[in-house]
Amino acid sequence: MEKILLVEDNPAASARIRTFIQKMDPGYEVIVFPMAGEAYSYACRETISLFILDIQLADYKGTNLARQLRALEAYRYTPILFETALAGEELTAYRDVQCYAFLIKPFTETEFREAFMSAIGLSRQLRPAGKKLCLEQKQFILEYDVSSIVYLEAFGKKIVIHTDSPVLGQKQDTISGYSLARLLEMLDDPSFIQCHKSYLVNQNYIGKINKTDRQIVLRNHSETIPVGAKYQSALW
């Protein structure tokens, strides 16, 4: 799941941009901060795929925030889009912080979409190759990006693997010959936990947990996942 960090102190402007992004793909996680300092602290803790920055912010300028981000090894090349009414800052944005695009307000949805899709495409190319899970079946081998696996569900001797992709959408495959315990070992990723005797879940896709009903609500998915009493300590 790609995280987009939007730094904009005008609620109407941030709502408009969020709408543009979610119309392209509701799977994007858009995080909004009105202050540069708050955004910087968040970026230091998380992994951001694309930054969208206003320039005139309450605490300090978006160009200064961009300089701070570029000083971090993790964000030396991460695409930055500026959206601002200050056309005079364009040279600084391109020359000093190597921004990907500079949008002058008011910009159209088409202008934003073209800049965004181009920038997110670059972000995907720059991303290091993710961990793969390869599962051998009778006549073929299935390969999964571990980060795209939402949850795994056991039905008797079969396992259903539920995945998510910005391109392919939600998908599921039924496999045999593996137990949940074996798959958890093969995944070898702390994001995955067993929440029920029949379920493994990727914590990155958890939207919220209903303790009363013992249910996990997934982000951007309609399914809910049960939590077994034996496994609840891993979640709360």
According to the 3-state scheme, what is the secondary structure of 164-199?
A: CCCCCCCEEEEEECCCHHHHHHHHCCCCEEEEECCE
CATH topology of domain 3-126: Rossmann fold (3.40.50)
Neighbour tally for 165: CB within 10 Å:
11
Do residues 85 and 65 touch, judged by C-beta distance below 8 A? no
The architecture that CATH gives domain 132-234 is: Beta Barrel (2.40)
β-strands 199-202, 149-155: how paired?
antiparallel
Instruction: Give the type of residue at 203.
Output: Q
Task: Flag the least confident range among 24-38, 129-143, 166-180.
Answer: 166-180
Other beta carbons within 10 angstroms of residue 44's beta carbon come to 13
- Where are the CATH 2.40.50.1020 domain residues in the chain? 132-234
Residues of the chain with CATH 3.40.50.2300: 3-126
Q: pTM above 0.95?
A: no
Taking only the tens place, the pLDDT of each residue in 45-101 is: 888 999 999 999 999 999 999 999 999 998 999 999 999 988 888 888 888 899 999
8 Å CB contact between 181 and 197: no
115-166 confidence digits (pLDDT tens):
999 999 999 888 766 788 999 998 899 999 898 899 999 998 999 999 986 5
Give dist(CA 91, CA 24) in Å, integer: 29
Contact 112, 129 (CB under 8 A): no
Is residue 104 within 8 Å of 111, Cβ to Cβ? no
Q: What strand order describes the sheet that includes 158-163?
A: 171-176, 158-163, 149-155, 199-202, 192-196
